[in-house]
Structure 1
Amino acid sequence: MTDPLAPDALARRVAEVVAGIPPGRVLTYGDVAELAECRSARLIGSVMARNPTGRDLPWWRVVTVRGTLADHLQAAAREHYRDEGTPVRADDRHLVRVDMDRALWSPETPADRGSGSPQGARAAGTLSTPGARRPRGSSPRGRRSGP
């Protein structure tokens, strides 16, 4: 039996979640962490930076809760956002900032999807409409995050 906490297992789960984010939509590092059954959003960033699975992942679809990426990634991300029609906002500090109210994605629940996909199973309790927006600051499982 594979240890679900093993780095290679985590990398596969992260890759599966990230690969499932539709074009024009985003998840936060925290959302990916929750869907991949990981307790650390920072660890998700590290796993994505190393990308041990070797898969070509849409890294620009995973952003901070403010809709930003590291400075060195913003120029390339801006091109992807333009190509995919991802809603962005003007921001004096960042080259590009995703409009989280319009671009944040909510995965489907298993009942909606009709399959036992690990991504859907981990998202139990999310909004039932594919691509529907969650209230700002809520987690993919419907719990409010933050104070």
Structure 2
Amino acid sequence: MNDEFAEAVYEIAGMIPGGSVLSYGDISELLECAGPRQVGAAMSRCGDGTPWWRVVRASGLPPLGHSAEALPRYVAEGTPLRTSGDTRSQTRAEPGYTIEMAAARWNPAETERGAIEVTRSALAGGSEPIPKTSDPHDWLKP
């Protein structure tokens, strides 16, 4: 895994305010490199300090396998949710809720966009840009 890319992903995730989310694809677009799968691969390795629950699938589904752990965080932060059943009987494939992406998607203010640009520039200047690819394993290989 490219450590510089992963750190850039974690920096963007850390900028997302409580009650808001970005999709994996949103982050790849902000960084102008890689793709949603690569962002997901990085997020799967993030540390405790990264608000992983604020990075979701484009459909509004929470991170795969973490819906039960994420739900109380969404509720506490006031993240707009749409329930689709009994959240107490959620499964990995059917969590019982989705995030309302239209209401919850973070739209960075101008000052925040400046911080994102700094992160993007540091990533681009630190090494070769990570090409967009449909196969996440292409760039993960040493």
TM-score by length of 2: 0.69
Is 1:15–1:57's contact at 8 Å kept on the other side of the alignment?
yes
Is 2:68–2:95's contact at 8 Å kept on the other side of the alignment?
no
SS of corresponding position for 1:77: helix
Shift of 1:35: 1.7
Shift of 1:97: 0.8
Shift of 1:39: 2.3
Given candidates 56, 63, 70, the residue that maps to 2:49 is 56
Is 1:23–1:86's contact at 8 Å kept on the other side of the alignment?
yes
Partner in structure 1 of residue 68 of structure 2: 75
Which amino acid in 1 is paired with 2:111? R
Q: Quote the sequence identity (%).
A: 37
Unaligned runs of 5+ in 1: 1-5, 124-147
- Count of residue correspondences: 112
Is 1:113–1:120's contact at 8 Å kept on the other side of the alignment?
no
Which amino acid in 2 is paired with 1:50? R
SS of corresponding position for 1:67: coil
Shift of 1:69: 2.2
Q: 2: distance between equivalents of 1:42 and 1:115?
A: 23
TM-score by length of 1: 0.67
Q: Relative contact order (C-alpha < 8 Å, sep 6+): which is higher?
A: 2
Q: 2: distance between equivalents of 1:56 and 1:76?
A: 15
Q: 1: distance between equivalents of 2:112 and 2:67?
A: 37
Q: 1: distance between equivalents of 2:108 and 2:113?
A: 13
SS of corresponding position for 1:89: strand
Between structures 1 and 2, the one with greater helix share: 2
- Distance change >3 Å, CA 39–CA 91, structure 1 → 2: same
Q: 1: distance between equivalents of 2:119 and 2:27?
A: 10
Given candidates 27, 31, 35, the residue that maps to 1:32 is 27
